[in-house]
Amino acid sequence: MIRAYAWLHNTPTRKLAILLGDQKEVIRMSETAQPQIARTTPCSVLVEAGKDYFWCACGRSGNQPFCDGSHKGSGLRPVRFSAEKTEWIWFCACKQTATPPFCDGSHKRLSAGS
């Protein structure tokens, strides 16, 4: 099963909808809960089949691209990723992706604007 991630913009809250087959989990975050940019290049990680990973959504983790609990009090939560097969994955590190936890190239706009 492929997991799909999408940002939904609503006022006054932003929602991260995680679609898992026929299940839907919505995480509500306040508009002031903005992630920090951890770095402006993605992280290439060899994931192992059957293992769960928790992608840092806040940008505060010292263990990028994964969560180390630094999000506490930020209003953000990590995103769970379950590897279906052993393969290399490009995880977003700028935290601006529209397809969390995967890199979608959003860091290129940040680098160009810096």
Q: Is 72 exposed, middle or buried (0-12, 13-18, 19+ CB in 10 A)?
A: exposed
* Mean pLDDT rounded to a whole number for the chain: 79
pLDDT grade for 32, boundaries at 50, 70 and 90: low
User: What is the band of 33 on the pLDDT scale with cuts at 50, 70, 90?
Assistant: confident
Question: Quick check: 17 pLDDT over 70?
Answer: no
Length of the chain: 114
Partners of residue 23 on adjacent β-strands:
20
Q: Is the pTM of the predicted complex or chain greater than 0.85?
A: no
Long-range interactions of 24-28: CB distance < 8 A, separation 24+? 27/77
- The closest alpha carbon to 99, from 88, 87, 109, 91, belongs to 91
Q: Give domain limits for the chain.
A: 4-107
